[in-house]
Amino acid sequence: MLYTRKGDGGTTKTFGCDQRVSKSSSIAEALGSLDEINSFLGLIKVKSKKITFELPENKISVPETIDRIQQDLFIIQAELAGAPKTIAEEKVKWLEEIIDGIEKTLPPIKTFFVSGGTELATLSDIARTIARRAERRVIGVVDEGKIKIGKNTLAYLNRLSSVLYAFARNFNHIANITEEAPQYK
């Protein structure tokens, strides 16, 4: 069934919780932000069909990489909702390897960049900002002391925006598009 009518009063339940919480609560906001980034990554996955990044040590399929990230986001959502799940350290290291590999293929960063270039670069930049918001929402719930999240989960959320930034830069790089620095005029 696609609806239950149980949320019509503006409340929802999380894993292992007998009480309903407001859909405007910090936990619902954090879960919603994670859902939002996961859905937006689906758009990038579909638009990047058959794109592979040639990195110094290996090749990575963009759609397969995004799919793995989406699967990891479900683990994070489950953990945030109270399930006995957490992100393993090797998943953080995996993201770091991707970031490091992409960084080796790019010119050094000397400034901020104006979002744009290719469609996939722009979508990756949007995803990066959504990921940052999701990270802030999750940290907000943790700061309130309402839930504990594993240190690797927090690290993963932080690396997520970095890998999306690397994706954006690399999509422009492989399209031979020079990134535009802000003019501050």
pLDDT of residue 28: 87
Separation between Cα atoms, residue 36 and residue 144, nearest integer Å: 22
What's the pLDDT tens digit per position in 69-98?
Answer: 999 999 999 999 889 999 999 999 999 999
In the predicted model, what is the mean pLDDT of the chain? 89
pLDDT of residue 21: 67
What's the pLDDT tens digit per position in 7-62?
Answer: 555 655 565 555 656 555 788 899 999 999 999 999 999 999 999 999 988 999 99
What are the angstrom distances between the C-alpha of 34 and each of 50, 110, 111?
26, 31, 29
pLDDT of residue 69: 98
In three-state form (DSSP H/G/I as H, E/B as E, the rest C), the secondary structure along the chain is CCCCCCCCCCEECCCCCCCCEECCCHHHHHHHHHHHHHHHHHHHHHHCCCCEEECCCCEEEHHHHHHHHHHHHHHHHHHHCCCCCCCCHHHHHHHHHHHHHHHHHCCCCCCCCECCCCHHHHHHHHHHHHHHHHHHHHHHHHHCCCCCCCHHHHHHHHHHHHHHHHHHHHHHHHCCCCCECCCCC
| pLDDT > 70: percent of the chain | 87
pTM, two decimals, is 0.89
| pLDDT > 90: percent of the chain | 70
Burial (CB count <10 Å: 0-12, 13-18, 19+), residue 49: exposed
Q: Label residue 180 left, alpha or beta by phi (over 0 means left) and psi (-120 to 50 means alpha).
A: beta
